């Protein structure tokens, strides 16, 4: 019984250890970051977004629900909106960087950064409907993205706590958790362009010990990759409410007209 209470206390301590965002200097003004929910996702919307077309671009899940209910799919033409002149979003996921003072082995850092970029790619596609597209780089000659509004996503690992691997492995229940803080910006266009939104998230994760059957949790890098994935899932949910799937007029001068799908 005493051991159970001790484990529970450790778990509760670990659950709240991520805490608030720690200013690292990556963003210009941390005072403008607002907490969006109880899970500590912080964002600052710089540019006011127009979501007038957003309702006409539905996710597959939304389409399935409409079909199941036998309800018609919203038609933009009925409201006088011309979808042919709308500009869908192309997300360009820039290569993330490691800016945390705490270092891991180079191989582990590269795995964490790879996970961040790949998960941003994957979860953006989950959150956004067709015809929104995601790329690792913007290629002007790509006819499939001609006419798209380019939104560049840049990110960095800015603070890391390795936790205690033996506590994660032997105790579990969130004990010895790792902490990863990630910060970034959404930019309108490519290169040095207008900042649409800034974000920061601090996520804790202890891997999955599975009752001593997973000694991999001894590795901080392994647990940090899970923390990064969990953070990105939450961030992309927030992006869906921040950046609309399409805009009614061109934003970026590098894209002028909508091309083929």
Q: What is the mean pLDDT of residues 20-48?
A: 82
CB atoms within 10 A of CB 107: 8
Q: Give the pLDDT confidence score for residue 71 in this predicted structure.
A: 83
Region of residue 146 (left: phi > 0; alpha: psi -120 to 50; beta: else)? beta
Q: Give the pLDDT confidence score for residue 147 in this predicted structure.
A: 85
Q: Give the pLDDT confidence score for residue 56 in this predicted structure.
A: 63
Contact 198, 184 (CB under 8 A): yes
pLDDT tens-digit series, residues 127-174? 988 789 999 999 989 888 888 999 999 999 999 999 998 999 888 777
Contact 231, 225 (CB under 8 A): no
The tokens of 153 are what?
Answer: 């996503």
Q: How far is CA 236 from CA 48, 120, 163, 172, in A?
A: 18, 7, 26, 28
Give the pTM: 0.80
Phi, psi angles (nearest 5°) of residue 11: -65, -45
Unique residue bearing structure tokens 């002028």:
256
State what percent of residues in the chain have pLDDT above 70: 75
Whether the predicted pLDDT of 83 surpasses 70:
no
pLDDT tens-digit series, residues 174-216? 788 999 999 999 999 887 778 999 999 999 999 988 878 889 9
């Amino acid at each position: 019984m005493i051991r159970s209470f001790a484990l529970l206390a450790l778990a509760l301590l670990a659950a709240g250890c991520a805490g608030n965002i720690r200013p690292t200097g990556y963003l210009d003004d941390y005072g403008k970051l607002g907490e969006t929910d109880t899970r500590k996702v912080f964002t600052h919307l710089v540019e006011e977004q127009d979501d007038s077309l957003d309702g006409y671009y539905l996710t597959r899940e939304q389409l399935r629900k409409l079909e199941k209910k036998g309800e018609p799919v919203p038609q933009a033409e009925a409201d006088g909106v011309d979808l042919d002149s709308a500009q869908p979003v192309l997300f360009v996921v820039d290569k993330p960087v490691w800016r945390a003072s705490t270092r891991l082995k180079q191989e582990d850092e590269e795995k964490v950064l790879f996970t961040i970029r790949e998960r941003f790619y994957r979860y953006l596609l989950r959150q956004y409907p067709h015809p929104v597209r995601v790329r690792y780089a913007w290629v002007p000659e790509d006819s499939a993205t001609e006419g798209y509004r380019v939104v560049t996503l840049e990110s960095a690992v800015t603070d890391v706590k390795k936790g205690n691997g033996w506590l994660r492995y032997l105790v579990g229940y969130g004990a010895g958790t790792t902490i990863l803080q990630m910060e970034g910006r959404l930019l309108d266009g490519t290169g040095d362009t207008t900042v649409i939104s800034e974000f920061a998230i601090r996520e804790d994760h202890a891997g999955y010990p599975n009752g001593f059957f997973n000694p991999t949790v001894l590795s901080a890098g392994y647990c940090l990759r899970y923390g990064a994935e969990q953070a990105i899932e939450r961030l992309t949910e927030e992006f869906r409410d921040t950046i609309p799937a399409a805009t009614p007029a061109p934003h970026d001068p590098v894209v002028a007209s909508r091309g083929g799908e």
